[in-house]
Structure 1
Amino acid sequence: MALCVIPQPIHPVGPELLRAAGIDVCMAPDAALLAAELQRADAAIVRDGLSEQEVDSAPRLAVIANHGTGTDKIAVERAHALGIPVTYLPDANVLAVAEHAFTLMLAAAHNVVAADAATRRGNWRFKYEGRMVSLYGKTLGIVGYGRTGRLLGEMAARGLGMRVLVWSPSADPAAIAQGGARAVPTLAQLLAEADVVSLHRPLRADTRHTLDAAHLALMKPSAIVVNTSRGGLIDEAALVEALAAGRLAGAGLDVFEREPLAPDAAIAALPNVVLTPHVAGSSQEALEATARRCAQQVIDALAGRMPEHMLRPEVWTRRRAVA
């Protein structure tokens, strides 16, 4: 019987579908168990990545299913070199991520976390002391215009009457206009005009530190930064400095340069930041849909059917044989 190893928890529907298809499932929440099970695994469904060493330790591995969109934490090149297809899901959780980005920008603007803490302490004077701003009619700048960025722009425009600007080197300006937004030619222009900047780019060598110290310096002191994409898109040290110095009003972050975020991380000490632990795509509806589709990708691959979404479809023709 084929075996699928799952290092991090996923919605129960995923394992149920795998078992119904005759595939054994092993949950491997710790490193030692994962190392042992990878030696006999035919497939893996991963949420937090798979290292090159782990890929090399799995001689039977015939498919890696990524539980989401971003695959930067998977040793993709090594997997492909060994003939192991890597699948992903381009749209299973995009609505949840867009909703979370919307939540973070509102929470940061309305100082929700500090207000909650003050209320729990009985500090009713926060009502007179806390700084809150309205986003209605303000300008949202979206960096990267994939499905999530487009959904967020539509939410902001329709729900808050926001003007939406987009900078995306790969997006069609006509598609941006169709989504009710306006394309701008440079990132610098977007940063100078936006009251909220939300990042929606994959993490690659050319996108790392899209917001570095120089770019952060172009933003309004009243602006808010939101990131639900990948932590490496922002120079976190530069962001901390700008927030601490009052050169930016706030931030809402779901992702970080190093995860999990250390309790003593400098960003965690700032009062004008809303932090969540990489949960933007984790609504119950998104988790169920993602687990279901990951399981189907594994079922298809092990049955000799090409999965729906592969990073490099050409790998399928030279894939490792299922044992």
Structure 2
Amino acid sequence: MSEAPCILVLNRIAHPLVRDLMPGAEFLVVPAAPDPQIPPGAESRISAIMARLPGEVRAETIAHLPKLRVISAAGVGLQNIDIPAATRAGVVVVNHPGHGFLSVAEHAVGLMLALSRRIVEIDGRLRSDGWRARDHFLDRVSDRYGTVLFGQRLGIAGLGHVGLHTARICRLGLGMDVSAFSPSVAESVFQEHGIRRAATMADLCATADVLLLAAAYRAGRPPLLGTAELAVMKPTAILINVARGGLVDQPALVDALRTGQLAGAGLDVFDPEPPPADCPFRDMENVVVTPHVAGPSLYSALGLARSNAEQVFAVLAGRRPPHVVNPEVYDRA
């Protein structure tokens, strides 16, 4: 690099370690928006973008940055980056698989336990009613005290890092039976981890006591969990979504939860994000919600910071980083 890089950061820097690993770099941190407000005069200097949700990198932004060479996603997800536009402009896009999956998997298990043991509901009643909350739940133990996960079937849609690690925790730690729908994953992976293969998404839904969505999301595709899939689920089943809100037909999910077609849901992701103020999930006692925070932890933040710095630095130094999303940029060079 002949000059110190100027890096546009949408939202905020994930961890101060990024600065430590890129000494001399200029960081321009701006609020996340579809049309980021770049400081006057900075457009001609920016050579890299670090895009954290809900920040977006659109074609218009790319077109106004003549020195832009690399866009780094916040983690694995890429729905906030116009990859075709970046590729046309010769801009490398990188992401960071394998850094947040431990946090996401543990968060998913936490949502399962919160729902099955009704932890959030009990906590709220204890805070409002005092020790009378105990009698409220003991008197209605059959339907209000919650169940256990031991011996139940966990169905996983998507056997990537998150899906596999959640399977390990639930099978070995909680005594759950695990099945998965993940057509691209080899049979040897299923056998190695003691996971049953579901032939279709409908088969997975029909047999699951807990359904975990951990699949990749691609904009424009139909929801993985729609009306037909919800219709075959057990009325005692719960849904956990730590992947992307677009994987679920949300109006259909609302109906299923309201009518008792589904017992409950633990949701860390929504479509859109942030959800509107009148989002019905907020008022449902059988739903536990968190604001897309399954991935962040000190452990994952340190790994993502290092990966961001190393991959951005590699591109700016003329080297090919390990996790290029659009290799066509190099193939045509």
Corresponding residue for 2:141?
Answer: none
Secondary structure at the aligned position of 1:86 is classed as strand
CA change 1:39–1:196 in 2 (3 A) is: farther
Secondary structure at the aligned position of 2:275 is classed as coil
Q: How does 1:15-54 map to 2 (within 5 A)?
A: 15-18=19-22, 20=23, 22-29=24-31, 31=33, 34-36=37-39, 37-38=42-43, 40-48=45-53, 49-54=56-61
Contact 1:177 1:183 in 2 (8 A): no
CA change 1:179–1:27 in 2 (3 A) is: same
CA distance in 1, matches of 2:147, 2:43: 51
Contact 1:38 1:57 in 2 (8 A): yes
* Worse overlay, 257-266 or 158-167: 257-266
CA distance in 1, matches of 2:199, 2:47: 47
Corresponding residue for 2:63?
Answer: 56
* Worse overlay, 125-134 or 264-273: 125-134
CA RMSD of aligned residues (A): 1.7
CA change 1:169–1:54 in 2 (3 A) is: same
CA distance in 2, matches of 1:252, 1:226: 5
Q: Are 2:17 and 1:13 aligned?
A: yes
Secondary structure at the aligned position of 2:301 is classed as helix
CA change 1:240–1:38 in 2 (3 A) is: farther
Corresponding residue for 2:291?
Answer: 277
CA distance in 1, matches of 2:43, 2:326: 23
Structure 2: gaps (5+ residues): 138-143
Corresponding residue for 2:181?
Answer: 167
The alignment's TM-score, normalised by the length of structure 2, stands at: 0.90
CA distance in 1, matches of 2:44, 2:250: 37
Q: Are 2:322 and 1:308 aligned?
A: yes
- Note the alpha carbon deviations across 1:134-181, whole angstroms, 9 max, x for none: 111100000011111000001000111000001111111221111121
Contact 1:4 1:23 in 2 (8 A): yes
Question: What amino acid is the match of 2:19?
Answer: P
Q: State the identity as a percent.
A: 38
Q: CA deviation at 1:39?
A: 5.0
CA distance in 1, matches of 2:44, 2:115: 46
- Note the alpha carbon deviations across 1:245-290, whole angstroms, 9 max, x for none: 1111110111101001223211222111111111111011101110
* Worse overlay, 26-35 or 102-111: 26-35
* Worse overlay, 200-209 or 103-112: 200-209
CA distance in 2, matches of 1:25, 1:318: 30
Structure 1: gaps (5+ residues): none
Aligned to 1:105, which of 94, 99, 112? Answer: 112
- Note the alpha carbon deviations across 1:55-111, whole angstroms, 9 max, x for none: 223222110011211101211111111111100111111111111111111111111
CA change 1:149–1:207 in 2 (3 A) is: farther
**Number of equivalenced pairs:** 317
Corresponding residue for 1:257?
Answer: 271
CA distance in 1, matches of 2:107, 2:221: 22
Question: What amino acid is the match of 1:222?
Answer: T
- Note the alpha carbon deviations across 1:169-199, whole angstroms, 9 max, x for none: 1111221111121112111111111100001
Q: Which has the higher contact order (CA 8 A, sep 6+)?
A: 1
* Worse overlay, 110-119 or 271-280: 110-119
Secondary structure at the aligned position of 1:259 is classed as coil
Q: Are 2:79 and 1:68 aligned?
A: no
CA distance in 1, matches of 2:197, 2:303: 32
Q: Are 2:90 and 1:83 aligned?
A: yes
CA distance in 1, matches of 2:20, 2:25: 10
Q: CA deviation at 1:312?
A: 2.2
CA distance in 1, matches of 2:228, 2:189: 29
Contact 1:144 1:200 in 2 (8 A): yes
Aligned to 2:7, which of 4, 9, 18? Answer: 4
CA change 1:50–1:317 in 2 (3 A) is: same
Question: What amino acid is the match of 1:88?
Answer: N
Secondary structure at the aligned position of 1:35 is classed as coil
Q: CA deviation at 1:206?
A: 7.2
CA distance in 2, matches of 1:140, 1:317: 42
Q: CA deviation at 1:125?
A: 3.6
Q: Are 2:309 and 1:287 aligned?
A: no
Q: CA deviation at 1:313?
A: 2.1
CA distance in 2, matches of 1:70, 1:214: 27
Q: CA deviation at 1:205?
A: 4.9
- Note the alpha carbon deviations across 1:188-226, whole angstroms, 9 max, x for none: 111111100001111125754100011111100000101
- Note the alpha carbon deviations across 1:19-74, whole angstroms, 9 max, x for none: x2x32112112558643345531001112132232222322211001121110121
The alignment's TM-score, normalised by the length of structure 1, stands at: 0.93
Question: What amino acid is the match of 1:35?
Answer: I
